[in-house]
């Protein structure tokens, strides 16, 4: 078969300017995507990690409205003896699983920039929710579950969101009954261990039941729409991060810093050596989740299969790695951090912004180049969206998404504002309002936060 001499320039010849962009898009869709790979690293010295500093906090209300208040903040309380974690299961208000957007984190970041927060003065290299970074950093020890993430680069800042297919979302929404109950038990433990007001004693007292018939210590039925979230700034190696994540409660008085944060977890009672090994492996995710957000303390409730808490134990986050050091099934946080540093350097090397994305968006459409001023047609901004795929035991692969895949990323859920329902317009996976804010100011000082409802934290 003779070799084709067809080029994109040849395709464009004879087309009016108004059609050139669509021709370029079709041409790109025919080209196979370049795939970049990063394999696991051998164990090495950990890069420097900066203690997280809180930038801003926010709350999600029962209506899933984001407020820049501490209305959802909870305070540590002592769980009662033999707390039953199946209580209230039939009244659980469960937030439906949707695409894990980062809109709430971006609104908080926008609000902090509008206030000229000093923690943002030196620039940001990456923005993500804590769950995403936990998955990345614990990958060297993950033996079973792979993952996919979407990545964008705008003004030299990397943005991340977890990618879930419709099939995965259905699985998360339709859990088997036993798995659903086990998930609920973790939330029920939080109800027993938290209060709407600080405890006057130390250690904290047991809650007084909020309604007739509630068991001792029960602070209210579970509603997973309600969350209190902290946004922190930290640094791993050469990359500065803005990380958002839910905080279960604080011990005593809230200081506006991370030093009183407490993470609440449940686990099965340890009956034998195999149970102990299983728990110590689980400690890696417990540790990394708290480490990334600057949470110094983790309270674990050990429960029977039927849901009765038999004992609780407090772990200091900084001391957890010592518990597994030198063991055959142990893990080393230095390896996780070294991998993470290499991972982000890998992305910085290969992930780029589409040239179209660097032009400033104005109004509802993107302004065309000066030579097109006579043509009234305008086009939507293009965004380069990348997909990172992790395979246990192998490493990660990176590829740029084609136009059809980008449209799939942009589509989906409805958003809500105070005056009613509206579709969330997106450029890639970023909300259009945020895109316009940061591209209008390449230095990253956005105009302010938009008040909306309904994103993930």
What local confidence, expressed as pLDDT, does residue 359 receive? 37
- The model's confidence at residue 40, banded by pLDDT at 50, 70 and 90, is confident
Describe the strand order of the beta sheet including 75-76 as a list of residue ranges.
194-195, 75-76, 249-250, 261-268, 297-303, 309-316
State the average pLDDT for the chain: 85
Q: Say if CB 127 and CB 109 are below 8 A apart.
A: yes
Q: Say if CB 109 and CB 119 are below 8 A apart.
A: no
Residue 153: both structure tokens together: 């680069």
What local confidence, expressed as pLDDT, does residue 22 receive? 54
Q: For 20-37, what is each residue's pLDDT tens digit?
A: 555 455 544 445 668 999
Residue 158 scores a pLDDT above 50:
yes
| Low-confidence winner among 124-133, 225-234, 315-324, 401-410 (lowest mean pLDDT) | 401-410
327/273 Cα distance (integer angstroms): 13
88/78 Cα distance (integer angstroms): 19
Note the maximum CA span of the chain: 84
- Helices and strands in the chain: count of H runs, count of E runs: 11, 23
Residue of 84 and 365 predicted with greater confidence: 84
Q: Where are the domains of the chain?
A: 53-347+406-453
Bridge partner residues of 58 (DSSP): 229
Q: Mark 45-66 as b/e (b = at least 16 C-beta within 10 Å).
A: ebbebeebebbbbbbbbeebbb
For every residue of 79-113, DSSP letters joined together read PPTT-BTTTTGGG-BPPPP-----HHHHHHHHHHH
Helix residue ranges per DSSP H, 162-260: 166-173, 177-193
| Low-confidence winner among 27-41, 94-108, 137-151, 382-396 (lowest mean pLDDT) | 27-41
Q: For 193-237, what is each residue's pLDDT tens digit?
A: 999 999 878 788 888 877 889 999 999 999 999 999 999 999 999
Mean pLDDT of all residues in 417-445: 77
Write the CB contacts of 161 (distance below 8 Å, at least 6 apart in sequence).
Answer: 99, 100, 101, 102, 128, 132, 149, 150, 429
For tokens 């934290």, the residue is 457
Residue 11 scores a pLDDT above 90:
no
Strand, helix or coil for residue 239: strand
Q: For 271-322, what is each residue's pLDDT tens digit?
A: 999 999 999 999 999 999 999 999 999 999 999 999 999 999 999 999 999 9
Write the CB contacts of 93 (distance below 8 Å, at least 6 apart in sequence).
Answer: 62, 221, 222, 223, 224, 225
Write the CB contacts of 153 (distance below 8 Å, at least 6 apart in sequence).
Answer: 159, 351, 352, 353, 384
Mean pLDDT of all residues in 151-167: 95
430/409 Cα distance (integer angstroms): 10
Residue 389: both structure tokens together: 């795929």
Mean pLDDT of all residues in 12-22: 51
The pTM score is: 0.85
């Amino acid at each position: 078969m003779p070799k084709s001499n067809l080029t994109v320039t040849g395709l464009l010849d004879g087309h009016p300017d108004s059609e050139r962009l669509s021709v370029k898009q079709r041409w790109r869709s025919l080209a196979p995507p370049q795939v970049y790979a990063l394999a696991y690293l051998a164990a090495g010295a950990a890069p420097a990690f900066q203690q997280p500093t809180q930038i801003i906090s926010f709350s999600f209300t029962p209506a899933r409205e984001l407020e820049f208040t501490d209305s959802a903040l909870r305070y540590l309380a002592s769980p009662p003896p033999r707390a039953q974690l199946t209580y209230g299961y039939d009244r659980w208000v469960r937030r439906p699983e949707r695409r894990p957007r980062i809109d709430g984190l971006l609104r908080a970041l926008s609000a902090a920039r509008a206030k000229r927060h000093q923690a943002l003065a030196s620039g940001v290299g990456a923005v993500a929710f804590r769950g995403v970074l936990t998955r990345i950093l614990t990958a060297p020890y993950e033996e079973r579950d792979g993952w996919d993430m979407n990545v964008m680069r705008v003004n030299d800042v990397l943005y991340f969101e977890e990618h879930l297919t419709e099939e995965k979302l259905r699985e998360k929404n339709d859990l088997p009954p036993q798995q659903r109950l086990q998930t609920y038990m973790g939330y029920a433990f939080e109800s027993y261990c938290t209060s709407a007001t600080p405890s006057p004693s130390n250690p904290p007292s047991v809650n007084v039941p909020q309604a007739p018939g509630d068991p001792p210590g029960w602070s209210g039925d579970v509603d997973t729409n309600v969350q209190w979230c902290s946004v922190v700034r930290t640094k791993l190696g050469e990359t500065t991060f803005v990380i958002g994540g839910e905080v279960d409660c604080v011990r005593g008085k809230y200081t506006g810093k991370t030093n009183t944060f407490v993470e609440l977890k449940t686990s099965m009672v340890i009956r034998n050596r195999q149970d102990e090994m299983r728990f110590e492996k689980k400690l890696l995710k417990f540790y990394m989740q708290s480490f990334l957000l600057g949470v110094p303390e983790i309270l674990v409730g050990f429960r029977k299969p039927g849901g009765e808490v038999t004992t609780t134990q407090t772990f200091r986050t900084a001391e957890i790695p010592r518990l597994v050091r030198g063991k055959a099934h142990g893990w080393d946080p230095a390896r996780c951090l070294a991998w993470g540093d290499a991972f982000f350097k890998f992305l910085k090397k290969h992930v780029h912004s589409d040239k179209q994305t660097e032009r400033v968006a104005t109004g509802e459409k993107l302004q065309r180049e000066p030579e097109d001023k006579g043509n009234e047609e305008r086009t939507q901004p293009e965004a380069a969206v990348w997909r990172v795929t992790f395979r246990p035991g192998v490493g990660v692969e990176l590829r740029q998404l084609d136009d059809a895949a980008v449209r799939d990323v942009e589509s989906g859920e409805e958003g809500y504002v105070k005056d009613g329902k509206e579709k969330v317009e997106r450029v890639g996976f970023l909300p259009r309002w945020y895109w316009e804010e940061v591209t209008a100011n390449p230095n990253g000082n956005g105009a302010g936060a938009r008040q909306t409802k309904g994103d993930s934290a």
